[in-house]
Structure 1
């Protein structure tokens, strides 16, 4: 009984302290206790209903965003394409059929779809099964030519030039190609040539169906559509990307945005166009540098002002808000604020790399609609990352518990 009374007393003291701390004081306390130099920290928390800033620090300082760049990438593509946009990877034949023999090639035209035979959600149709079924349905038992993969639709290189070579062998640092297959990875390791893996899988499947490939060099003829491989809706790809922080998905979406804008689909031109888009939307762009879609590049720079402005623009989009992991419940935020009054009421994308810990997203209501934008950027972490995270949790609890108490007393 005494232990229960003591626990209740401690909770009452904590609640009293939370009520006593203003939002500005909570931010100052966070900056002073997170263990990072103040100039390497930025905070901005805004009430979306009236535009009032609850707390702010260093909001115009360009800092390294890490994976909160994915929140920018998904927002930009969602603004350009509808939530039910789908990637289309057409499969062609380019010769006549003669007694079950295709006197030509089978051609797969890449479309930068990151979800082809993905090992993670969203799961679409198996493109290899689709090809074997389509050939069998067409009565084709032999391909006299070759299986060709056309990767000319998108320009540029698979990785941005600023990515560090030490990341290349890891799955998180895999390249994004015009034709992608099985996440361009094998377990935790990257696959440099996903087309080769696809070809090996396809030849094995065709052999099992008694469909042979002669491999003759017949050149290319007029293409006839055999079928169209269609991805899951892009909002499902976006949600998976944000929940799991998938670099490959994010890079594909950035390049897709560039292509939809009439550019060549390279990372470089897409990033330039994305920067121009948010400039045209009157966002505060001073010091902002967009280099890639995932945040893996250490050349990206954002400000809390920019991230807050972008989140404000997207704040009434329920689909976009649903991409963010809920604190204490989902994805990269599962342990953050767990079993606190803000469990399930904070939805944010995290970003972390050596010396960097960032958060960007929303405070949400009971219907999971955003009420506040939240941006916390921490760079140059040399001490305890867990200490910095705990300080961020405390700040949010102090700000939002205090605001709730104030509103209840108004």
Structure 2
């Protein structure tokens, strides 16, 4: 049976835009219902992670709906994804060249290599301050004539407000490095234990 002849239809620019918008919405809706791609499902299976334990949303910032949505309504632990937000906020507020200085202060200059007063170490929250940096700081003090400290070494973390923090609250393992609370004067990620 022959098809009826096609009748050419002229669509205006507005009608074409509406038609394209409808097609895009239909495509986005279809993709939003799409399951995870087979390679992702295979990788999850190989890692013995059930697909029900994963939530994924892929959506362009300027799009009205996601391209892919899997378990989007399920509450999940955000894990390291939250680091992206923290990093963005830090870069936006502080800038990429920001550093957190750890400084040393003395009450009086040394006499014959001896610092008779206290040495104050003031932290400003350097998250990467490690034992190597402390040794470098001590070498700088030696270069400035301090060979022995007769007073006290005072650690000053006052750059951060005091915080009521329980490192055992998360998993009852307060000595784990990941349970360290915020401090203006951390050394080695607070992974050292001084006795």
- Name the TM tier (shorter chain): 0.5 to 0.7
Distance across 1 between alignment mates of 2:162 and 2:179: 16
- Does the CA contact (< 8 Å) of 1:97 and 1:103 recur in 2? yes
- Closer/same/farther in 2, CA of residues 115 and 25 from structure 1, 3 Å limit: same
Distance across 2 between alignment mates of 1:155 and 1:94: 24
Distance across 2 between alignment mates of 1:156 and 1:47: 41
Alignment match, 1:154? 160
Distance across 1 between alignment mates of 2:168 and 2:78: 15
Give the one of 100, 117, 126 matched to 2:133. Answer: 126
TM-score under structure 1 length normalisation: 0.33
Larger Rg over CA atoms: 2
Distance across 2 between alignment mates of 1:135 and 1:45: 53
Alignment match, 1:143? 149
- Closer/same/farther in 2, CA of residues 48 and 35 from structure 1, 3 Å limit: closer
Alignment match, 2:59? 46
Distance across 1 between alignment mates of 2:184 and 2:191: 15
Distance across 1 between alignment mates of 2:174 and 2:168: 12
Alignment match, 2:178? 172
- Closer/same/farther in 2, CA of residues 95 and 115 from structure 1, 3 Å limit: same
TM-score under structure 2 length normalisation: 0.63
Query: Structure 2, unaligned stretches of length 5 or more?
Result: 1-29, 42-48
Matched position secondary structure for 1:98: coil
Q: Which moved more, 1:82-91 or 1:99-108?
A: 99-108
Does 2:101 correspond to 1:88?
Answer: yes
- Does the CA contact (< 8 Å) of 2:125 and 2:184 recur in 1? yes
Matched position secondary structure for 1:56: strand
Task: Please show how residues 274-293 of structure 1 align to structure 2 within 5 Å.
Answer: none
- Closer/same/farther in 2, CA of residues 112 and 167 from structure 1, 3 Å limit: same
Runs (4 or more) in structure 1 with deviation over 6 Å come to none
Distance across 1 between alignment mates of 2:168 and 2:70: 29
Structure (1 or 2) with the greater helix fraction: 1
Alignment match, 2:86? 73
Distance across 2 between alignment mates of 1:104 and 1:142: 11
Alignment match, 2:35? 27
RMSD: 3.3
| Cα deviation, residue 105, structure 1 | 1.0
Task: Please show how residues 257-336 of structure 1 align to structure 2 within 5 Å.
Answer: none
Distance across 2 between alignment mates of 1:84 and 1:73: 16
Query: Structure 1, unaligned stretches of length 5 or more?
Result: 1-21, 119-124, 198-410
Distance across 2 between alignment mates of 1:76 and 1:130: 30
| Cα deviation, residue 50, structure 1 | 4.7
